[in-house]
Chain A
Amino acid sequence: MTTREPEARRTDPKGFVVRAVTMLAQLVIPLGVAAVTIFDDGGASAKIAWAMPFVILLILANLVIAYLQWTRLTYTVGDTDIRVESGVLARAARSVPYERIQDISLEQKLLPRLFGLVEVKFETGAGGKDDLSLTYLSEAEGERLRELVRERREGPAATLATDTAPDAGQRPAEAEVLFAMGPKRVLTFGLFEFSLVVVAVIGGLAQQLDFLLPFDLWDFDEWEQRLAGPGQYLSGLGPLAQFAGLLFALLTLAFVGVATGLVRTALREWNFRLERTAKGLRRRRGLLTRTDLVMPLHRVQALRLDTGFLRRHFGWHGLKIISLASDSGGANHDAVPFGRMEEIHPVVRTTGFSLPPEGTQWDRALKSYRTDKALLAALYLVPATIVAALLANNWLWIAPLAGLLFLLAEQYWRWKHDYRALGERQLYSRHGWFSPSLAIASRVKLQSVEIAQGPLAQMRGYASLHLGLAGGKLRVHGMPLSEARRWRDALAESMAGSDFSVLLEKKGAPAL
């Protein structure tokens, strides 16, 4: 390979096959559905024979277009940028300078994976929409591109990497595994991912599409009939059989919920590996769609530690990384999706952050803030309760009253479990009791500080602190005004110490 002359390359030819197959699948399913609905009434075979040539023509035309698109899509790895030219009729050329490439991620969906292909995405921090992606290069080529761009970013003077190491996936032994999840852990995780939403959706679907089921899920009389076979004695019991039917329906739903959680989690998290490489944290996961992502350490903006209502009683926690690139496509940067605190500690240390030390002084929001929030929340429900009590008979006013009490209790709980603390290098915000989360932000890496006061807040003397954070938001509510000012001055002082570009370009350990 020449080192100076950049050459235009095509994507992997197998990519064309993958595209064609995906396209066919996309085409065949609607066609099949259409066929079933249109040719429902007899004499279908004759009509299908009549339509067949058109369908084949359509498929052929699509194949030709896909082929043309493949031939016209070229990419050039230049000295200073990567250029991609595409388009059959309308040509588009895009060039991305190496300095602007924040991150490269490789993604493998099921089909490309079978062919040994990857999709290479160049994240430029442009908000995710206009990011450059090359669909389907060979694994080795993807790996090579990634290494190349990294080296380019490291030093512009470096020549093109001449050794096109073809060993895909095999990286030098520098990688140190920080966190990994085996099948057992993934399945445990899946058990906690029981999704009520899925259950609700399936329950709803069962009701909507009950004509598809061989029986009526909600018809308890029929359940009685059904049980009449093997459980003859049940039908004699009448209401008990109905109860059994209901129980069975609920158990089915619960089972489906658990199973969905298991399957979804296993698909997403299978063989999860988080490694520390020279370039940052590298995460690989996925069963059918395998993703490979590198988060440069110096671009970690903040951490979020969270857990769930149930799992926290079993000591499971999760760690998310808020980084500059995480706004692209909402791809959350789960660093440790499901682990013990002692497994999370080393990851937190690696990012250069630290968990709040023992002696941290935690403060709650002001009591006046709590009172005002509760009053505002109650504002809607108090009149409703009164009106309901006056007008409606039948104890109808219980409902708004219960809502009101719930709201007040919720406000109180929230207040009781929301804490803030300002450390020497970091600030912490703890939130929630039901599923508590803790945000850890670096004081240096904030973008702006704002003290905000609404009309009530001005009257009552408290303020909210809104912190500008790249890739996330962080707000601290209900602080006394004087303390908000003190925090702001302290934070502005820490921020002024370094320029943003210095923070970005710093290699290795972040400026902490």
Chain B
Amino acid sequence: MDGPEDLTQLDPRYKSMMRLVAGLFAIALLVAATIAEIAIPGWTGVVWAPVTLVAAYLVLYLPMRRYATRGYSIAEERLRVVRGVLFHTDTIVPFGRVQHIDVDQGPLERGFGLATLTVHTAGSHNSSVSLPGLSHSDALAMRDGIRAAIRRDTL
């Protein structure tokens, strides 16, 4: 059950959403760079060039990497959430330990039809594990699946 190969990828729209967020940030960055460039006499490009590179990294490369490192699986009655480019974490929560489940949608997520699934356990560390970037219907289905598993266990 190990290794990244048997992980389910997140919804591809999540990549677009991360791009959009990064894009908004990049625009702000570029505006600031333009102002600095205007302030500096002559079109030297000393600010523009590096900022454009950073923006390209943020918008084009990073969402791809982040998307590629993320994944989940709900096999064997346990939720596994893998995430993180620099700080990599790989979390497992057995369904039997889930106390309650949230499905959240922020404004952007709603626009893309995505949702974040969060499961809460009784632990005092790592007590909530969240999984963003699911399509809304998937998130609801997963919630119902986990809920059914819990009910089956307790009955």
Q: Show the binding face of A for B, using Cβ within 8 Å.
A: 324, 327, 446-455, 458, 466-475, 485, 488-489, 492, 495-496, 498-502
Question: Is B93 part of the contact surface with A, judged by Cβ < 8 Å?
Answer: yes
Contact residues of B: prevailing secondary structure: mixed
Q: When the two chains form their complex, are residues A447 and B90 in contact, meaning their CB atoms are under 8 A apart?
A: no
Instruction: Evaluate whether A447 and B97 lie within 8 angstroms (CB atoms) in the complex, with A489-B2, A492-B78 already known.
Output: yes
A residues in contact with B125, CB < 8 Å: 466-469, 472-475
- Complex alpha-carbon distance, A283 and B153, angstroms: 34
Q: When the two chains form their complex, are residues B89 and A451 in contact, meaning their CB atoms are under 8 A apart?
A: yes
- Complex alpha-carbon distance, A472 and B126, angstroms: 11
A residues in contact with B84, CB < 8 Å: 453
Contact among B1, B89, B99, B153 with A452 in the assembled complex (CB-CB below 8 Å):
B89
Q: When the two chains form their complex, are residues B78 and A471 in contact, meaning their CB atoms are under 8 A apart?
A: no
- Stretch of B25-33, B40-48, B116-124, B136-144 at the chain-chain interface: B116-124
Contact among A327, A466, A496, A501 with B78 in the assembled complex (CB-CB below 8 Å):
A496
Q: When the two chains form their complex, are residues A468 and B89 in contact, meaning their CB atoms are under 8 A apart?
A: no
Least CB distance, B71 to chain A, in whole angstroms:
14
Q: When the two chains form their complex, are residues A500 and B99 in contact, meaning their CB atoms are under 8 A apart?
A: yes
A residues in contact with B87, CB < 8 Å: 452-455
B residues in contact with A475, CB < 8 Å: 125
Q: When the two chains form their complex, are residues B124 and A450 in contact, meaning their CB atoms are under 8 A apart?
A: no
Q: When the two chains form their complex, are residues B97 and A500 in contact, meaning their CB atoms are under 8 A apart?
A: yes
Q: When the two chains form their complex, are residues A450 and B122 in contact, meaning their CB atoms are under 8 A apart?
A: no
Contact among A454, A474, A496, A500 with B122 in the assembled complex (CB-CB below 8 Å):
A500
Interface centre among A453, A473, A499 (most CB of B within 10 A): A499
Q: When the two chains form their complex, are residues B92 and A448 in contact, meaning their CB atoms are under 8 A apart?
A: yes
Q: When the two chains form their complex, are residues B124 and A470 in contact, meaning their CB atoms are under 8 A apart?
A: yes
Least CB distance, B72 to chain A, in whole angstroms:
14
Least CB distance, A489 to chain B, in whole angstroms:
7
Q: When the two chains form their complex, are residues A468 and B86 in contact, meaning their CB atoms are under 8 A apart?
A: no
- Complex alpha-carbon distance, A499 and B87, angstroms: 31
Question: Is B51 part of the contact surface with A, judged by Cβ < 8 Å?
Answer: no
Question: Is B8 part of the contact surface with A, judged by Cβ < 8 Å?
Answer: no
- Complex alpha-carbon distance, A495 and B80, angstroms: 14
Least CB distance, B55 to chain A, in whole angstroms:
23
Q: When the two chains form their complex, are residues A468 and B150 in contact, meaning their CB atoms are under 8 A apart?
A: no
Instruction: Evaluate whether A447 and B123 lie within 8 angstroms (CB atoms) in the complex, with A492-B94, A496-B94 already known.
Output: yes
Q: When the two chains form their complex, are residues A449 and B91 in contact, meaning their CB atoms are under 8 A apart?
A: yes
B residues in contact with A446, CB < 8 Å: 97, 123
- Complex alpha-carbon distance, A466 and B123, angstroms: 11
Instruction: Evaluate whether A499 and B96 lie within 8 angstroms (CB atoms) in the complex, with A450-B90, A453-B88, A485-B2 already known.
Output: yes
Question: Is B54 part of the contact surface with A, judged by Cβ < 8 Å?
Answer: no
- Complex alpha-carbon distance, A241 and B97, angstroms: 69
Instruction: Evaluate whether A450 and B99 lie within 8 angstroms (CB atoms) in the complex, with A489-B1, A501-B154 already known.
Output: no
- Complex alpha-carbon distance, A492 and B96, angstroms: 11
- Complex alpha-carbon distance, A2 and B30, angstroms: 78
